[in-house]
């Protein structure tokens, strides 16, 4: 094994030897704990009061706990020169940028380092700063009291009395953008004059010696060395960082080593003393090897450390197909003569062969095709004809498409997308329920960033949202700026949006979620923009008041909305009684906006109100119509009490709430149903897709709900995402039509680093969008009007057990096309069956109609009524087969139905047979035909029908006009004869005779 030894530079050795004693010369000379009004982060000034360069390596700081154990590292500066004052600011590079924007005109060349930590912020009331070396030895400390907003504290020596900065004081303080202080200066001493560079000497392939002439009045010098126009500074050993090389005033040269490649190295020098920094010297350039020192080319539209993300194996990946586009230019070379190249730091994520670069007259396109999951730095370099170059680094991340389907695309930029509003077949507006407060326009044909982003602040401002505690004048409420967008729908070119109107996950009252607003679509396709219309901020208050006042006529507070929305109750309560709006659509006639609730679930129609704090009886999802939604929106948020509401609609979604609901072009509805609390993937805590024709029974329950075969959980391939958005087709719903499913992927770990998407920075966040086939109807929801407990009592047709009245092996209360209920006359149960599997509703057992040609003796079980729906609408009407099961009665031999055209009762039974312990009557009816009560070809057939004991007559082979008339004549005569016999019997019992 070979070993390579490195010899430390002379500067490093000198700093190490001098460090211990020289650090005694470090003094904290200024601190800012209350910047105003152009706020910057807290900072303090560290000064070298001695005559030697002092190393800053390993230094740590703390606030007034003055504890080494609580201290944090000071970074960014290797050393401080004699007489120099430097700044350490809380935060990162963006904090330094803000600091320079505030102070740059007055102190443009002060050097700045950073520190950060959760416990070291400086307080405006009173605090302190201490600096330790790496062993915990305290080097300097200062304490201070309450700060004057916008003015720093200053000190002349350790533990001296603090003074508050004022303009033109002894520290040379100035006013800059609202603050007063002297960062980088501690006296009114004359600022040094600028040094002048001299030609470099001892130039080799790996280094050189930088030379300069001193400026007057200098206490120290700082040498800055760079290969990229001073965007990045180098140390004397050629490594990156350090913030500049600090030297004594007597030092007029510095050896540089450790460089490589055909590069151009630039250097410049600052002179410093107590009065601050001089202007920079001129810049000297040194070519190494075959390097050239022309002015480097310039990047436009590509910042250093730009974050991008892609997807392994995704044929729709934007950065693999279209790429990222930027510009390059040069002062000497023509744009198309510039050579642009790219290289990857991690071939396991992106191989160099996966990087494609093209330069079209200065417009550069870089395409990135990943091969593995993870992160890679992609360095893009542009070089001119003089061999001068500049580089930018792209921070690239790649995720997997292993769980994707053929249609899956991955919108990036947000991970918690919760609603989708279609603009056209290719473009969709997406919004999320996290604090981004923005609406994004995406192209459904590709994975990648949004086409356009519309921050709510640029659309509608704050929409009246307050800030801090008791916002909106609501005691106990607080505003955190999160609108929590959960639903939206388009009506023409206007799009309505709503926040969840919920508490936060801890039950905190958050009025900034109480927003219903609208935007108008301007333009089309990728050029679509949004124009704000207005908003309403009292919807939640109005809903609660309406429920409490029995506005729905179900009983005061029947829905329990005030309790569900109460402080302390989370929207995802395990008792299914939270409060959260997650779906919104428009009614079939566009007259009302339907609010779809994820929670609470409520009781079924006909049942008592569910008990607060209990999941018992909470079986149905809730839709509440807002009947004046289009007039509520105002520039000032409207007036409380303005909203009006329609009759609530309850939907049996198998114990699930509404996560999204969308009206289609043929006035049908798509519904994503999911658990009101957390999902486990096991019913009912899973996601299911339903369709609905918008019909509602007289009891307020949605009818003709169909569970579709598309399995939303298996669609995601095991990914821990939640389907929460729908994109409707442009055509009528059929089994084979394609729809879009948008999934919240905030909890997904995309890059193999254990970090959930919601905890990443925006460019790395992703959601999921799938296009799926609607699929066939798996089953209709049982909304027959008969309770499950009642249906479970019917004797089974097989003779053993209960609950299966027609003997098909499935409990009747699990089937929408089968309904069992007690008879109205006599005893026992009857079972109504749609042989074609059409959903039944309004199933009832009735007394005999007044005009029925039958009595209790000839119709021993009374009459039955029902509505069958979902029947195909065809010319002339579809003919459907039905079955009626009754307790076995050997004499029942027909079923009467009234012909609405002739007003005659007719036997419509096609067969009457014994099945086990049952009498089974089969009959056929035609949609819109003579025996359909509603008289319309509308996909519904309405009954009533009477199973009867008919006298023995010649069979009627068809239901012709002649047959109907003949049967009615026989029935009439039979009825007359029966009445005569009854009268004769009664007369005989009374002792009277009647004539034969």
| Token pair recorded at residue 500 | 């969840």
In terms of Cα–Cα distance, which of 535, 451, 543 is closest to 485?
Answer: 535
Q: What is the per-residue pLDDT across 758-779, written as a single tens digit (0 to 9) for each?
A: 999 999 999 999 999 999 988 8
Q: Give the span between the Cα atoms of 924 and 930, in whole angstroms.
A: 12
Q: With the C-alpha atoms ordered 605, 611, 612, 614, is the resulting torsion angle positive or negative?
A: negative
| In a shared domain, residues 123 and 248 | no
Mean pLDDT of 920-928: 96
Is the CB of residue 187 less than 8 Å from the CB of residue 274? yes
Is the CB of residue 275 less than 8 Å from the CB of residue 185? yes
Which CATH number belongs to the domain containing residue 245 in this structure?
2.60.40.10
Comparison of pLDDT for 333 and 237, the residue scoring more? 237
Average pLDDT taken over every residue of the chain? 90
Q: Give the span between the Cα atoms of 738 and 607, in whole angstroms.
A: 38
Q: What is the per-residue pLDDT across 644-686, written as a single tens digit (0 to 9) for each?
A: 999 999 999 999 999 999 999 999 999 999 999 999 999 999 9
How many structural domains comprise the chain?
6
Block residue for tokens 């579709």: 708
Comparison of pLDDT for 372 and 11, the residue scoring more? 372
| Residues in Cβ contact with 388 at an 8 Å cutoff, skipping those fewer than 6 apart | 264, 291, 292, 293, 294, 295, 296, 297
In terms of Cα–Cα distance, which of 950, 504, 225 is closest to 233?
Answer: 225
Has residue 139 been placed in a domain? yes
Which CATH number belongs to the domain containing residue 102 in this structure?
2.60.40.1260
Q: Give the span between the Cα atoms of 406 and 417, in whole angstroms.
A: 21
Q: What is the per-residue pLDDT across 389-415, written as a single tens digit (0 to 9) for each?
A: 899 999 999 999 999 999 999 999 999
Answer yes or no: is pLDDT of 119 > 80.
Answer: yes
Answer yes or no: is pLDDT of 498 > 50.
Answer: yes
| In a shared domain, residues 274 and 309 | no
Is the CB of residue 486 less than 8 Å from the CB of residue 504? no
Q: Give the span between the Cα atoms of 308 and 395, in whole angstroms.
A: 6
| In a shared domain, residues 105 and 23 | yes
What proportions of the chain, in percent to the nearest 5, are helix, strand and coil?
10, 35, 50
Neighbours of 705 (CB within 10 A): 25
Using the 8-state DSSP alphabet, how is residue 162 labeled? P
Q: With the C-alpha atoms ordered 714, 718, 720, 726, is the resulting torsion angle positive or negative?
A: negative
Label residue 917 by pLDDT band (50, 70, 90): very high
| In a shared domain, residues 964 and 946 | no
Mean pLDDT of 885-910: 96
Q: What is the per-residue pLDDT across 329-385, written as a single tens digit (0 to 9) for each?
A: 988 678 999 999 999 999 999 999 999 999 999 999 999 999 999 999 999 999 887
Q: What is the per-residue pLDDT across 826-845, written as a single tens digit (0 to 9) for each?
A: 999 999 999 998 899 889 99
| Token pair recorded at residue 513 | 């979620």
Answer yes or no: is pLDDT of 740 > 80.
Answer: yes
Block residue for tokens 């450390």: 305
Has residue 661 been placed in a domain? yes
| Token pair recorded at residue 979 | 């009445």
- What is this structure's pTM? 0.66
| In a shared domain, residues 354 and 500 | no
Is the CB of residue 79 less than 8 Å from the CB of residue 246? yes
Answer yes or no: is pLDDT of 563 > 70.
Answer: yes
Has residue 751 been placed in a domain? no
Is the CB of residue 498 less than 8 Å from the CB of residue 488? yes
For 154, list phi and psi in degrees, rounded to 5.
-130, 150
Neighbours of 995 (CB within 10 A): 4
pLDDT of residue 18: 42
Mean pLDDT of 555-559: 97
Neighbours of 667 (CB within 10 A): 14
pLDDT of residue 21: 55
pLDDT of residue 780: 86
Q: How many residues does the chain have?
A: 996
pLDDT of residue 462: 77
By DSSP bridging, strand 85-90 and strand 112-115 are parallel
pLDDT of residue 461: 76
pLDDT of residue 606: 83
pLDDT of residue 698: 82
Choose the weakest-confidence range: 457-461, 787-791, 857-861. Answer: 457-461
Q: Give the span between the Cα atoms of 910 and 858, in whole angstroms.
A: 19
On the 0-12 / 13-18 / 19+ scale of CB atoms within 10 A, 117 is: middle
| In a shared domain, residues 811 and 946 | yes
Q: Give the span between the Cα atoms of 967 and 895, in whole angstroms.
A: 13
Q: What is the SS3 assignment for 677?
A: coil
Using the 8-state DSSP alphabet, how is residue 531 labeled? E
Q: What is the per-residue pLDDT across 249-294, written as a single tens digit (0 to 9) for each?
A: 999 999 999 999 988 899 999 999 999 999 999 988 888 888 777 7
Using the 8-state DSSP alphabet, how is residue 69 labeled? G
Domain boundaries, position 701? 423-728
| In a shared domain, residues 107 and 230 | no
Has residue 707 been placed in a domain? yes
| In a shared domain, residues 92 and 175 | yes
| In a shared domain, residues 150 and 275 | no
| In a shared domain, residues 25 and 162 | yes
| Token pair recorded at residue 868 | 């069958």
Q: Give the span between the Cα atoms of 49 and 24, in whole angstroms.
A: 9
Helices and strands in the chain, H and E counts: 10, 63
User: Residue 690 is inside which H or E element, if any?
Assistant: strand 688-692
User: Residue 542 is inside which H or E element, if any?
Assistant: helix 539-548
Q: What is the per-residue pLDDT across 18-72, written as a single tens digit (0 to 9) for each?
A: 444 578 899 999 999 999 888 999 999 999 999 999 999 999 999 999 999 999 9
Mean pLDDT of 552-559: 97
Has residue 748 been placed in a domain? no
User: Residue 100 is inside which H or E element, if any?
Assistant: helix 93-103
| In a shared domain, residues 862 and 931 | yes
Label residue 963 by pLDDT band (50, 70, 90): very low
DSSP string, 221-282: EEEEEESSTTSS-B-TTS-B-SSSEEEETT--EEEE----SS-EEEEEEEEEETTEE-----
Q: What is the SS3 assignment for 150?
A: coil
Answer yes or no: is pLDDT of 386 > 70.
Answer: no
| Token pair recorded at residue 874 | 């065809």
The last residue of one of the domains, among 684, 706, 728, is 728
Long-range contacts of 901-905 (CB under 8 A, 24+ apart): 901/930, 902/930, 902/964, 902/965, 902/968, 904/964, 904/965, 904/967, 904/968, 905/851, 905/852, 905/853, 905/854, 905/946, 905/968, 905/971
Q: With the C-alpha atoms ordered 398, 400, 406, 410, is the resulting torsion angle positive or negative?
A: negative
Q: Give the span between the Cα atoms of 314 and 724, in whole angstroms.
A: 23
The last residue of one of the domains, among 158, 181, 204, is 181
Mean pLDDT of 868-894: 94
Has residue 929 been placed in a domain? yes
Is the CB of residue 538 less than 8 Å from the CB of residue 640? yes
Block residue for tokens 């020289």: 22
Q: What is the SS3 assignment for 47?
A: strand
Q: What is the per-residue pLDDT across 689-712, written as a single tens digit (0 to 9) for each?
A: 999 999 998 889 999 899 999 989
Percent share of the chain, pLDDT over 90: 79
| Residues in Cβ contact with 973 at an 8 Å cutoff, skipping those fewer than 6 apart | none
Q: Give the span between the Cα atoms of 516 and 632, in whole angstroms.
A: 9
Q: With the C-alpha atoms ordered 543, 549, 550, 555, is the resulting torsion angle positive or negative?
A: positive
pLDDT of residue 953: 55
In terms of Cα–Cα distance, which of 829, 824, 826, 766 is closest to 795?
Answer: 829
| In a shared domain, residues 327 and 272 | no
Has residue 848 been placed in a domain? yes
Is the CB of residue 844 less than 8 Å from the CB of residue 785? yes
Q: How many CA atoms lie within 13 A of 524 on its CB side?
A: 3
Has residue 189 been placed in a domain? no
| Residues in Cβ contact with 563 at an 8 Å cutoff, skipping those fewer than 6 apart | 557, 569, 577, 612
């Amino acid at each position: 094994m070979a070993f390579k030894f490195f010899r430390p530079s002379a500067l490093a050795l000198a700093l190490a030897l001098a460090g211990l004693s020289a650090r005694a010369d470090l003094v904290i000379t200024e601190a800012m704990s209350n910047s105003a009004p152009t706020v910057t982060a807290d900072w303090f000034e560290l000064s070298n009061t001695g005559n030697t360069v002092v190393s800053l390596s390993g230094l740590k700081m703390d606030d007034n706990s003055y504890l080494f154990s609580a201290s944090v590292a000071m970074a960014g500066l290797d050393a401080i020169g004699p007489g120099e004052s430097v700044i350490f600011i809380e935060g990162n590079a963006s904090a330094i940028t803000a600091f320079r924007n505030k102070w740059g005109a007055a102190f443009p060349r002060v050097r700045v380092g950073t520190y950060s930590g959760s416990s070291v912020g400086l307080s405006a009331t009173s605090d302190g700063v201490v600096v330790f070396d790496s062993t915990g030895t305290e080097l300097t400390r200062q304490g201070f009291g309450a700060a004057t907003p916008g003015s720093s504290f200053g000190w002349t020596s350790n533990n001296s009395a603090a003074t508050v900065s004022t303009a033109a004081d002894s520290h040379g303080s100035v006013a800059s953008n609202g603050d007063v202080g002297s960062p980088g200066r501690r006296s009114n001493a004359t600022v040094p004059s600028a040094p002048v560079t001299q030609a470099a000497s001892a130039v080799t392939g790996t280094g050189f010696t930088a030379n300069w002439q001193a400026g007057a009045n200098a206490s120290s010098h700082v040498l800055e060395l760079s290969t990229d126009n001073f965007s990045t500074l180098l140390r004397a050993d050629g490594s990156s960082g350090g913030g500049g090389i600090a030297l004594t005033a007597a030092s007029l040269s510095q050896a540089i080593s450790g460089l490589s490649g055909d590069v151009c190295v630039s250097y410049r020098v600052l002179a410093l003393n107590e009065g601050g920094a001089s202007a920079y010297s001129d810049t000297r350039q040194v070519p190494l090897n075959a390097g050239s020192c022309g002015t480097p080319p310039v990047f436009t539209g590509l910042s250093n450390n730009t974050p991008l993300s892609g997807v392994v194996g995704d044929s729709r990946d934007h950065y693999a197909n279209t790429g990222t586009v930027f510009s390059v230019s040069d002062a000497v070379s023509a744009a198309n003569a510039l050579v642009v190249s790219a290289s990857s730091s991690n071939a396991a994520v992106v191989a160099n062969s996966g990087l494609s670069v093209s330069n079209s007259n200065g417009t550069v396109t870089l395409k990135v095709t990943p091969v593995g999951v993870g992160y890679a730095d992609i360095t893009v370099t542009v070089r001119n004809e003089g061999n001068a170059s500049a580089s930018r680094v792209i921070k690239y991340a790649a995720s997997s498409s292993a769980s994707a389907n053929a249609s899956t695309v991955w919108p990036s930029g947000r991970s918690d997308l919760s609603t989708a509003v279609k603009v056209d077949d290719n473009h969709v507006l997406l919004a999320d329920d996290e604090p981004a407060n923005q609406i994004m326009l995406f192209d459904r044909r590709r994975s990648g960033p949004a086409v356009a982003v519309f921050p709510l602040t640029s659309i509608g401002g704050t929409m009246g949202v307050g800030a801090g505690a008791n916002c909106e004048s609501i005691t106990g409420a607080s505003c955190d700026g999160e609108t929590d967008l959960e639903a939206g729908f388009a009506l023409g070119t206007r799009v309505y949006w709503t926040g969840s109107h919920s508490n936060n996950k801890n039950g905190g009252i958050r009025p900034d979620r109480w927003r219903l607003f609208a935007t108008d679509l301007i333009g089309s396709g990728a050029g679509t923009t949004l124009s704000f219309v207005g908003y309403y901020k009292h919807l939640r208050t109005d809903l609660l008041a309406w429920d409490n006042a029995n506005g729905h006529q179900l009983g005061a507070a029947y829905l329990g909305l005030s309790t569900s929305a109460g402080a302390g109750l989370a929207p995802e309560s395990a008792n299914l009684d939270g409060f959260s709006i997650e779906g919104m659509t428009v009614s079939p006639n566009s007259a009302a906006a339907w609010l779809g609730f994820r929670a609470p679930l409520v009781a079924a129609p006909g049942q008592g109100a569910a008990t607060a704090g209990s999941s018992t009886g909470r079986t149905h999802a809730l839709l509440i119509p807002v009947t004046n939604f289009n007039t509520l929106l105002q520039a000032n948020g409207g007036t409380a009490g303005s909203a009006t509401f329609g009759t609530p609609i309850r939907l049996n979604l198998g114990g699930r709430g509404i996560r999204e609901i969308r009206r289609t072009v043929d006035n049908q509805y798509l519904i994503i149903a999911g658990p009101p609390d957390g999902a486990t993937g096991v019913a009912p805590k899973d996601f299911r897709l339903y369709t609905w024709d918008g019909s509602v029974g007289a009891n307020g329950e949605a009818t003709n709900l169909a569970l579709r075969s598309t399995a939303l959980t298996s669609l995601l391939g095991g990914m821990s995402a939640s389907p929460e958005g729908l994109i409707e087709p442009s055509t009528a719903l059929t089994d084979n039509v394609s729809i879009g499913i948008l999934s919240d992927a905030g909890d997904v770990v995309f890059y193999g680093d254990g970090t959930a998407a919601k905890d990443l920075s925006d460019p790395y966040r992703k959601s999921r969008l799938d296009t799926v086939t609607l699929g066939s109807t798996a089953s209709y929801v049982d909304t027959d009007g008969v309770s499950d407990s009642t249906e479970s009592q019917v004797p089974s047709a097989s003779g053993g057990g209960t609950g299966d009245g027609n003997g098909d092996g499935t409990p009747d209360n699990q089937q929408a096309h089968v309904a069992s209920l007690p008879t109205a006359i006599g005893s026992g149960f009857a079972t109504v069956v749609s042989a074609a599997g059409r959903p039944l509703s309004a199933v009832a057992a009735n007394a005999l109609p007044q005009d029925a040609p039958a009595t209790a003796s000839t119709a021993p079980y009374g009459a039955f009524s029902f509505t069958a729906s979902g029947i195909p609408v065809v010319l002339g009407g579809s003919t459907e087969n039905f079955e009626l099961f009754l307790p076995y009665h050997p004499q029942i031999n027909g079923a009467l139905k009234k012909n609405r055209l002739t007003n005659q009762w007719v036997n419509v039974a096609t067969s009457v047979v014994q099945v086990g312990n049952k009498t089974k009557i089969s009959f056929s009816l035609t949609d819109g035909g003579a025996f359909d009560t509603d008289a319309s070809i509308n996909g519904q057939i309405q009954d009533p029908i009477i199973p009867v004991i008919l006298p023995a007559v010649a069979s009627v082979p068809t239901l012709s006009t002649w047959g109907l008339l003949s049967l009615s004549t026989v029935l009439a005569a039979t009825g007359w004869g029966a009445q005569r016999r009854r009268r004769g019997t009664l007369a005989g019992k009374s002792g009277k005779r009647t004539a034969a």
